[in-house]
Every structure is written in structure tokens, then in C-alpha cells.
Amino acid sequence: MGMHVAVVGAGIMGLSTAWALARRGHRVSVYDQHAVPNPLGSSVDQHRLIRHAYGAEGGYTDMVDEAYGAWERLWADLGQRLYEPTGTLCIGSIEDTAWLHESAATLAERGRAVRWLSGAALAAEFPLIEARGIREAFHLETGGVLLAGRIVELLAHHLPGRNVTIHPHAAVLDLDPATATIRLADRSVVRADALVVAAGPWVPRLVPELAGRAVPSRQVLTYLTMPEGLRAAWAKHPMVLDIDPDCGFYLVPPVAGTGMKIGDHRFTLAGDPDRDREAGLEEAERIWAFGRARLADPDRYSIASAATCFYTCEKDERFVVEPLDGAGASGGRAWVMTGFSGHGFKFGPVLGERMAAALENPDLGPTLTSWAAGRQPVPRDQ
């Protein structure tokens, strides 16, 4: 007999978990404090990246292959593939190229060879990138763009009627892990067989013991106006990653009619997700300053718009997927999913599948927690 699972948060983690549970025959109720998709949610932006380059983090590198498999299962259910392959161009400045070499070594151990590019080769093959100031670079055939906002919207339309009920504008005031119970802003109480809290930057408010460990981080994303005639070339360009500790610049190409986006990989570890939402021009220009140094003929580009997005960060950028304190009376069936640090979207469906398996079998819980933190493999039969 199936469970009734209450899920708090209708971003990619909450909806992916609902999808996975419904496929296994369980009934799911999803609650979000705003509309669904939530325009303030961490998952609702034009795009998110999926890529194999992960520095020395072999656990997350391996997880990417599993993520691709889960996305294929989701595409089959949705009847639509909201993904554009681009490949991955990783560049390193003169100051620091350690991340490049760690990524290449980790990939080589897994039989994935990267193609190293000299400065001259980089300039010849990718002329839209400014090769000066780049010490080393490599290209990887895999990687691409997930059309994030469209994915969340399609999931929100697909799931209702398939054992999933979505409750927008249903803020959760507090919860009781021991009884898998939540209390809503209208004072109504929902009692379920299991509970999953996947509320993005609002998690620390609902789970106070995570305050200081899962920290909201206000990030500014900047969209660019491209030179006339270059949209088609950029739409075929690989994503660009420069994970320099002093820069952290990344570029998302304008695939499938989206905008061209640049961002700063560094975290602010500050901000109130309910209030600090306006992106100022100075903030956008600060992000653009990093981008200017990496684009050929940068004066032909300009800032089109800027937006804020709140990540939730764990100090080592390790995902926090674990039972809630006091969940013993519910059979280990009260969990939190948080700390995805801006790079969790790509893992939404596979994390949802593993979460569903652990709710069915609490013995899988410790393995799930360690695997989600990038520290060990998870058995394939989960």
C-alpha cells in the first residue's frame, strides 16, 4: 500500500521527489508559499548547467552520469526534452589553473579524455573568447543547458492528476518531524506518512538546527545584449567555466531562444530571500567586469538585464540530504534536502529517485546521505 508524502517546496527538488514517488505508486501533496512555479524560487531561471567537470570531486563527477539517466526517464514521462547539448569549455587564468587539472585528472580516471587547447588553438577554434589572459583551457564534448524555468513549469503541469496534488500559496508555519506533520499559515494541519522539506533558502527557517550550516546566498545573474549577427554563433558555443578562486566566472550560451547569461561562482553567503530581490546596476556591472575580460571585443556587448537568485550553501558545497532530528517516531520518514549551492539543479531527478527509495526503505538512508554529499557510490538497485 502506498504512502502519503507531504513535500514542502515546489522547486526542482520538491517536484522531482514528487515525480519519483508518484511513479512508485505513492500519493504526494506538495506545498509552496508562493505560486508554482515560484518566481522567487532558486530553480526558476532561464537555464542551469549540467557538466562533468567537477574538479577533484569524483563523487559528483560520477553522479552526473546517473543524473543524465534520470533526466532521460523524466523526459520520457514529460514527452518533451528540455535540454540543449553544448559541450563544455573550461578556461584557466594565469593566476590559478588547479581546478582545470583536477577536473582533467578526475575525468581521465573515468575514461573521459579532455582536449587541451593552447592559446593559439583557443583563439582559432573559439574566436568569441578572448584568449589573452588565459593560461590553459580544455574542451569536453559532454555538458549542456537544462531549460530550468520551463522544466519546473512543465513538471508543475504534468504532476497534478498523477497521484500528486500541488498546493500553491500554502505557506508552512512549522513542522513536526516525529509525526510527519506540517502546520500551514491558515492554521490547518496536514498529517502524512512521510515528510520531505525541500524549501530552498527558506529551509533554515523551518529547520532551525540547520541555521548556520545551510546558508542562504544572494547571487546576481546578468544577461547580455549580444552584437548584431552573433546570436547564432553563440547559440552553438559551449558553456564557459572559469572556476578561478578570485573570479568564478561562467557563461551560459543563448540556446533555444534564451538569453546569454554570465554569473559569478563565488557566494555572498548573505541576504534575505523575502526582501533582497532587486539587482542593482552596480552589481550587474561588477559581474560584467568579469565577463568583459573573457569576451573578444567586449565593447560590442552590453547589459540587458539582471536578476537575483538565492542559493543555499553548505560550507564545503556538499548536498545535505538527511533525516530530520526527531524523525524516529515516523520510522525515519522525515527528511530535508538542502545545501545545493547553485549546482544542485542538474541532480534534481536522480536525487528525487534516491529520496523516494529511502522513504520506502529507511535502511538506505545512511547511504543516501553520504552519496548526496559526494562521498561514496550508491547501490544501483536503489
Mean pLDDT of the chain: 93
Instruction: Compare 381 and 32 and report the one with higher pLDDT.
Output: 32
| 90-99, 172-181, 306-315: the lowest-pLDDT one | 90-99
Q: In what order do the strands lie in the sheet with 115-117?
A: 115-117, 134-140, 88-93, 239-242, 249-252, 260-264, 215-225, 302-313
pLDDT given at position 325: 75
382 pLDDT higher than 90: no
Residues 118 and 229 in one domain: yes
pLDDT given at position 377: 62
Residues 227 and 340 in one domain: no
CB 344 within 8 A of CB 350: no
pLDDT given at position 54: 95
75 phi, psi to nearest 5 deg: -55, -40
How many residues does this entry show for the chain?
382
**DSSP state, 324?**
P
pLDDT given at position 293: 87
What would the DSSP string read from start to end of 25-78?
T-EEEEE-SS-SS-TTSTT-SS-EEE-S--TT-HHHHHHHHHHHHHHHHHHHHH
Q: What is the pTM of this model?
A: 0.95
Asked whether residue 68 is assigned to any structural domain, the reply reads: no
Can you tell me the distance from the alpha carbon of 75 to that of 70, in angstroms, rounded to the nearest whole number? 9
Instruction: Give the mean pLDDT of 329-341.
Output: 83
Residues 123 and 261 in one domain: yes
Segment 17-30, tens digit of pLDDT: 999 999 999 999 99
| Element of type H or E holding 249 | strand 249-252
Instruction: Give the mean pLDDT of 53-78.
Output: 97
Asked whether residue 162 is assigned to any structural domain, the reply reads: yes
Instruction: Give the mean pLDDT of 251-264.
Output: 95
Residues 344 and 295 in one domain: no
pLDDT given at position 327: 54
pLDDT given at position 172: 98
pLDDT given at position 42: 87
| Element of type H or E holding 181 | strand 181-184
Name the domain boundary from 313, 331, 348. Answer: 313
Residues 288 and 177 in one domain: no
Total domains in the fold of the chain: 2
317 phi, psi to nearest 5 deg: 60, 40
Q: How confident is the model at residue 291 (pLDDT cuts 50, 70, 90)?
A: confident
Asked whether residue 206 is assigned to any structural domain, the reply reads: yes
Residue type (1 letter), 184? L
pLDDT given at position 40: 87
Residues 122 and 219 in one domain: yes
Q: How confident is the model at residue 246 (pLDDT cuts 50, 70, 90)?
A: low
**Dihedral angle over CA of 322, 327, 332, 337, nearest 10:** -30
